[in-house]
Amino acid sequence: MMYIIETVSWTAKAGVKPSEMVGAVERMVSDLEKVPGFRYQSLSLKESTAKNQEEPDAPDQWLQLYYWDSVETAHNSNTLMAPTTSLNHLISLIEPDTIAIDVFTPQQQSSQLSLS
């Protein structure tokens, strides 16, 4: 089975530490697990911001991948997660005008994604 992939990218507000962002996402996962169709998520920090020696105060750029059963469950998740404290806390760490959300339908995969 191939899952729908939702990408959410953003830039952290100035002064937000990577550990704060990771902690906020980890708190949000317990709410996500209650959303119908949610399968898995991962959070990644853009390598150039993780090791930016020339501009150590440059804001961190993040990418979160969500795996859903269907396009419909991916879209419905926005409404279901909007009132949660965990999502609102995460959003408080993000520059709002940098958020980009896209939903992709897989067309090919090298092997079955094993989710536990």
Residue 28 is encoded by which pair of tokens? Answer: 């949000």
Task: Using CB atoms within 10 Å of the CB of residue 109, give its burial: 0 to 12 exposed, 13 to 18 middle, 19+ buried.
Answer: exposed
**pLDDT averages per 10-residue partition of the chain, 116 residues:** 93 92 96 96 83 68 96 94 96 96 91 65
3-class DSSP state for residue 44? strand
- Give the gyration radius of the chain's Cα atoms: 15
pLDDT of 49: 62
Can you give the pLDDT at residue 111?
74
